[in-house]
Structure 1
Amino acid sequence: MVLNLGDQFPNFIADTTDGKIDFHEWAGDSWAILFSHPADFTPVCTTELSAVARLIPEFTKRNVKPIALSCDSVDSHNGWIDDIKAYGKLSEFGYPIIDDAKRELAVKLNMLDKDEIGAGGLPLTCRAVFVIDPNRKLRLSILYPATTGRNFAEILRTIDAMQLTDKKRVATPADWVQGQECMVQPSVKEEELAELFPDGVTNVDLPSGKKYLRKTAP
């Protein structure tokens, strides 16, 4: 299955370290981030799950529920969580890990890295990231190779940008972070600016003379 941005994210039933879940029911009215891992008890994966556990307060502030997937069993996951907590010096582990020992979800969601072959001769699960909004639409998709760890600060940044642009007719420029100026969308007409952006809009002077770079406070 190839998922495009804006597609309805498929529902699934799965066993997890928090029990059996229906994904859409589990997500509820929240945003969700589903991120996959090649295997339990592997070095890069351990650092990633530890990083997400530390960031639970940041995800909660944004109404986002994280959930991980790894191609091993719940029993294996539970043993691995002890290592993850020890590595990150964590007192708790605040989100579920999906049992995908049969690789059914990895195949269904096209998460396999064909260039990285595991000990069993099968492709490893790549480091996929899917961000799904409360309407169950896919809003962000990033595929990292199995050998490259993810930057979760960047994932939080993109969630901030999407949540802002859902509320206001703006777009975020390169390297934008929460609180910085953003750009008025080109579709906004001049006569709409005062009502939509009461704090004002600044036009950037350009050689072309075109007024398409318009900055405003978030």
Structure 2
Amino acid sequence: MQNYDIQPMPRLNEPAPEFEADTTFGHIRLSDFRGKWVVMYSHPADFTPVCTTEFMGFSARKKEFDEMNVQLLGLSIDSVFSHLAWVNSIQKDFGQHTPFPIIADLDMHVSKLYGMIHPKAATTQAVRALFIIDPEGILRLMIYYPMTTGRNIDEVIRVLKSLQTVDQYKVNTGANWQPGDPVIVSPPNTVKSLDERSAQKDVDCKAWYFCTKKL
């Protein structure tokens, strides 16, 4: 039986592991982006077709991410030189500029720190993972994808808007929620709050534990 190093896994609602690394935009630290939302996503390797579609997809939506105060960060275990050659190819062959840093993780330090090395998926590549870190440096979302399946950029933006709405209004959002849809009010935890909830005119309650309202 082959043994693999046990990797730490980051956990939601805890500080995102700090790191520093070389990128296509120079040397960075994660803490450089404190005060912004960070979307960091890994790809298995440069010059691969699924990853190319993802980089074009994120790049094409850069303005929307900027409007949400989001810093995009790409990552793979390739070198800066490989990243530069790849983004040059994407620009030349597909006409899409890559306007955000790509982390070079040759020693797999960041990949291991964030639990991206899954030996059963690939022994020498980071899996397709995505992390959302809030402006306070807290890890708020993790999604791991199979090597074969590209990400849905619309869903990444939807989740970001949900998290920002949740933080601002202290509410929850339901399945398939989109901005403008009703939000879910947290269930009451005392008889007093239950009575107060039923008296609120702006709240629509289908059951004592299920109430929504429009923002």
**TM-score normalised by structure 2 residue count:** 0.88
Whole-angstrom distance in 1 between the partners of 2:147 and 2:160 = 23
2:156 matched to which residue of 1? 155
2:36 matched to which residue of 1? 30
Whole-angstrom distance in 2 between the partners of 1:169 and 1:193 = 15
1:52 matched to which residue of 2? 58
Deviation by residue 1:127-184 (Cα, 9 ceiling, x = unmatched): 1111000110000011112221111211111111111011113211111111111111
Query: One-letter code of the match for 1:19?
Result: G
Whole-angstrom distance in 2 between the partners of 1:22 and 1:191 = 49
Q: CA deviation at 1:113?
A: 2.8
Is 1:76 matched with 2:82? yes
C-alpha contact (below 8 Å) 2:194/2:208 kept by paired residues: no
Whole-angstrom distance in 2 between the partners of 1:132 and 1:116 = 25
Q: CA deviation at 1:23?
A: 1.5
C-alpha contact (below 8 Å) 1:37/1:127 kept by paired residues: yes
1:96 matched to which residue of 2? 101
2:4 matched to which residue of 1? none
**5+ residue gaps, structure 1:** 205-209
Mark the CA change 1:157 to 1:87 in structure 2 (over 3 Å): closer, same or farther: farther
Query: One-letter code of the match for 1:177?
Result: Q
2:139 matched to which residue of 1? 138
2:15 matched to which residue of 1? 8
Query: One-letter code of the match for 2:133?
Result: I
Identity, % of aligned positions: 35
Which structure: greater strand fraction?
1
1:125 matched to which residue of 2? 126
**5+ residue gaps, structure 2:** 1-7
CA RMSD in angstroms, aligned pairs only: 2.0
**TM-score normalised by structure 1 residue count:** 0.87
Query: One-letter code of the match for 1:130?
Result: F
Mark the CA change 1:203 to 1:39 in structure 2 (over 3 Å): closer, same or farther: same
Secondary structure of 1:171's aligned partner = coil
Is 1:216 matched with 2:213? yes
Runs (4+) of structure 1 exceeding 4 A deviation are: 190-195
C-alpha contact (below 8 Å) 1:47/1:87 kept by paired residues: no
